[in-house]
Amino acid sequence: MVALTGAVASNQRIASTFPDGLVAIFVGGTSGVGEYTVKAFAKYTRNSRAYIIGRSEASAKRILAECRTIGPSNSFEFFQGDISLLKTVDDICNKIRAKETAINILFETQGSMAFNAITSEGISLAASLGMHSRTRFILNLLPLLQRATGLRRVVTVMAATLEGPIDLDNLGGIDFPMRQRRDQFASAQTLLLEKIQEKIPGAEAVGYVHDVPGVVQSGITRDAEGFGMKALIAVTTLLGPLIRTPIDECAEMHLFYATSARYAAGSGKGTADGVPLQGGVEVARGTIGKTGSGVYSINTRGEPGPPRVDEVLTGLRGDGTANKLWEIIMAESKKVTGSESL
Other CB atoms closer than 10 Å to residue 238's CB: what's the count?
10
Q: pLDDT tens digits for 16-53?
A: 999 999 999 999 999 999 999 999 999 999 999 999 99
Distance CA 232, CA 309 (A): 26
Q: Where are the alpha helices (DSSP H) in the chain?
A: 4-11, 14-17, 32-44, 57-70, 86-99, 125-127, 133-147, 178-199, 227-243, 247-259, 307-318, 321-337
Q: pLDDT tens digits for 187-199?
A: 999 999 999 999 9
Distance CA 326, CA 129 (A): 16
4 exposure class (CB count in 10 Å sphere: 0-12, 13-18, 19+): middle
pLDDT of 269 strictly over 70: no
Distance CA 10, CA 274 (A): 10
Full-model pTM: 0.94
Q: pLDDT tens digits for 227-266?
A: 454 544 444 454 455 456 899 999 999 999 999 999 999 9
Average pLDDT, the chain: 92
pLDDT of 329 strictly over 60: yes
Among 23, 74, 76, smallest CA distance to 53 is for: 76
**In the chain, % of residues over pLDDT 70:** 90
Contact 112, 32 (CB under 8 A): no
Which amino acid is present at 249?
E
Structural domains for the chain: 4-336 (3.40.50.720)
Distance CA 128, CA 329 (A): 9
Distance CA 150, CA 17 (A): 9
Q: Which pLDDT belongs to residue 81?
A: 97
pLDDT of 136 strictly over 70: yes
Among 261, 177, 218, 200, smallest CA distance to 6 is for: 261
